[in-house]
Amino acid sequence: MGVTVDVHQVFRYPFEQVVASYLRKYPSPMEKHVTAVKTMEEKTDLSTGIIYRRRIATCQNVIPEILRKVSVLKVSDIYLEEESWLNMQERNMVMKSHCLTWTQYASLSEESVFRESLENPNWTEFIQKGRISITGAGLLNCVLEAFAQTFLSQGVKKGIRIMETLLQEQCGCPFS
């Protein structure tokens, strides 16, 4: 079956500042579940100027203890891989993320874009589409998907709040 989360947010800050804040967003005391982010690969395409990054995030397992009675869910950390392509010339950054943990039981993927707003060149649009589907857990599939949808929706809101806080600390008041 699967669940989806769609987000559209406009940050009233220039693209360069939004991307810089995003890249330093985690780990942060504002989000205790993300414990580490490590850049595994970074390279620049000299012909296009596009910067490619591959990062691995380490997150605490947030599945409720009652559900961790299932042996496969009894892990302390969950790993996510993010690939991004930053094009400063076109003022956009495309990201694709997926979960590296539980791949035989769950599929979690996100596609996100930061881009200069069409409404105001000093603003930045953030668009994200996420999908999670769980298989192989029998009757728990629906329960785990419902938990995942709630957690992802809350996580998106929290991530946006963290970005807004970082941007205000870095830049001051939003641009109008």
| Residue that wins the pLDDT comparison between 58 and 153 | 58
Do the Cβ atoms of 67 and 100 come closer than 8 Å?
no
Write the CA distances from 38 to 10, 34, 164, integer angstroms: 27, 11, 23
pLDDT band at 102 (very low <50, low <70, confident <90, very high): confident
Is the pLDDT at 9 greater than 90? The verdict is: yes
| pLDDT tens-digit readout, 112-148 | 999 999 999 999 999 999 998 888 767 777 777 887 7
Please state the pTM of the whole predicted model: 0.88
Q: What is the pLDDT of residue 51?
A: 98
Q: What is the pLDDT of residue 46?
A: 96
In this prediction, residues 80-101 reach a mean pLDDT of 96
| pLDDT tens-digit readout, 29-81 | 888 889 999 999 999 999 999 999 999 999 988 776 666 666 666 788 989 99
Q: What is the pLDDT of residue 71?
A: 64
| Residue that wins the pLDDT comparison between 32 and 151 | 32
Q: What is the pLDDT of residue 143?
A: 78
Q: What is the pLDDT of residue 111?
A: 96
**Residue 114 phi, psi (nearest 5):** -105, 130
pLDDT band at 2 (very low <50, low <70, confident <90, very high): confident
Q: What share of the chain is helix, strand, coil (3-state, %, to 5)?
A: 25, 40, 30
Separation of first and last alpha carbons in the chain: 42
Is the pLDDT at 10 greater than 80? The verdict is: yes
Q: What is the pLDDT of residue 1?
A: 65
Q: What is the pLDDT of residue 173?
A: 74
